[in-house]
Amino acid sequence: DAAINRIAAGEVVERPASAVKELVENALDAGATRIEVAYADGGKTLIRVTDDGCGIAPDDLPLALSRHATSKIDGSDLLDIHTFGFRGEALPSLGSVGRLTITSRADGFDAATIRVAGGAPTPVKPAALSGGTVVELRDLFFATPARLKFMRTDRAEAQAITDVIKRLAMAEPHVGFTLRDVSGGGEGRVTFRADPETGDMFDALAGRLGSILGREFTENAIPIDAERDGLRLTGYAALPTYSRGAAVAQFLFVNGRPVKDKLLTGALRAAYFDFLSRDRHPAAALFVTCDPHLVDVNVHPAKSEVRFRDPGIARGLIVSGLRHALANAGH
């Protein structure tokens, strides 16, 4: 019910950027190839995510708003429910802390819309939409004023949204992303854009990193491809000469999800230890992939920590994979 949703929301939704993350992940899960995110006032008054994914059938719209009614756990996954620890929480949570409207059209169905604002959802109504899904979240935390106090300036919240979009855009180079600030109303202003990349994983990632981090990064980066005990490491790491004064260009992903993890950043630093003075930081976009049983990425829904079954293997893979690649590049 509403109270439980609101408590869960405190776990899932900390700020506008966490709502954006959940909504864009849903669009990606729905197989979208183009995703547009619009926000106003740092996302506090409006977040709107539009995708061209598979859509939601009218009868399923109320389900999308009920807790744990995820469509993403099939029979086989039920055995591994711990890896989906926070499944089916995002939309009910968002509907309990803001005014949420979902409009969608699935193949073979008419478009329909549903709305919820701090209580029970309205009945499903017909709508006009040619395909995909539009999720609009207005007035985040209007029902929980205490949380409003924790929001930072519009500028800081907009920056956090941009960071989330850039990380997700790196993880999905074949998907096109547009980010728009519509604070003034109307079409607004495009603040970030990445067109869909083509080619294999490395080509697509190089293209995407070029549009996010700039050509200077890609021209100074070497491809990484290493494996150890069931863990694979791919991506690009910059040569030590392209190090930064702050750790702002470190992007780490585990099984396709952006993470911020001390073990992994520590390993990255260790790999460059011989080449960088203490005030310089390596730049890299690295992807660890492995069997989902070897890592828990759902330690906490809003935090992007991970827990490897064997942390030593993950660390060793990064240190040796990067050192090897750097050595091949003459370091």
Question: What residues line the site for ligand ADP (CB under 6 A)?
Answer: 22, 26-27, 29-30, 51, 53-56, 64, 70-72, 87-91, 133
Q: Which two tokens stand for residue 122?
A: 């309205």
CB of 12 to ligand ADP, least distance (A): 9
CB of 98 to Mg ion, least distance (A): 16
**Other residues' Cβ atoms within 10 Å of the Cβ of residue 291:** 10
CB 129 within 8 A of CB 105: yes
Q: Which is nearer to ligand ADP, 26 or 45 (CB)?
A: 26
Local structure of 303: helix, strand or coil = coil
Number of shown-chain residues binding Mg ion (CB under 5 A): 2
CB of 62 to ligand ADP, least distance (A): 10
Strands 112-117 and 99-105 turn out to be antiparallel
Task: Name the segment binding Mg ion (CB under 5 A); options: 7-15, 19-27, 151-159, 252-260.
Answer: 19-27
Helix, strand counts (H, E) of the chain: 10, 15
113 touches Mg ion by CB under 5 A: no
Contacts of 301 (CB under 8 A, 6+ apart): 11, 12, 85, 86, 89
Contacts of 62 (CB under 8 A, 6+ apart): 114, 121, 124
The entry of ligand ADP, Mg ion, none that residue 87 binds, CB within 5 to 8 Å by partner kind? ligand ADP
CB of 227 to ligand ADP, least distance (A): 30
> Which of 286, 244, 245 lies closest to 265, judged by CA?
286
Q: Residue with structure tokens 């660890």?
A: 288
CB of 161 to ligand ADP, least distance (A): 17
Task: Name the segment binding Mg ion (CB under 5 A); options: 35-43, 86-94, 160-168, 318-326.
Answer: 86-94
133 touches Mg ion by CB under 5 A: no
The entry of Mg ion, ligand ADP, none that residue 51 binds, CB within 5 to 8 Å by partner kind? ligand ADP
Q: Which is nearer to Mg ion, 19 or 206 (CB)?
A: 19
26 touches Mg ion by CB under 5 A: yes
Q: Which is nearer to ligand ADP, 87 or 167 (CB)?
A: 87
Q: Which is nearer to ligand ADP, 66 or 144 (CB)?
A: 66
Q: Residue with structure tokens 């935090």?
A: 303
CA atoms lying within 13 Å on the CB side of residue 8 = 20
103 touches Mg ion by CB under 5 A: no
Judging by beta carbons within 10 Å of its beta carbon (0-12, 13-18, 19+), is residue 318 exposed, middle or buried? buried
183 touches Mg ion by CB under 5 A: no
Q: 239-252: string of b/e by CB count within 10 Å (b at 16+)?
A: bbebbeeeeebbbb
The entry of ligand ADP, Mg ion, none that residue 183 binds, CB within 5 to 8 Å by partner kind? none
The entry of Mg ion, ligand ADP, none that residue 233 binds, CB within 5 to 8 Å by partner kind? none
CB of 286 to ligand ADP, least distance (A): 25
90 touches Mg ion by CB under 5 A: yes
The rounded distance, in Å, linking the Cα atoms of 110 and 113 is 10
Q: What residues make contact with Mg ion under the rule CB under 5 A?
A: 26, 90
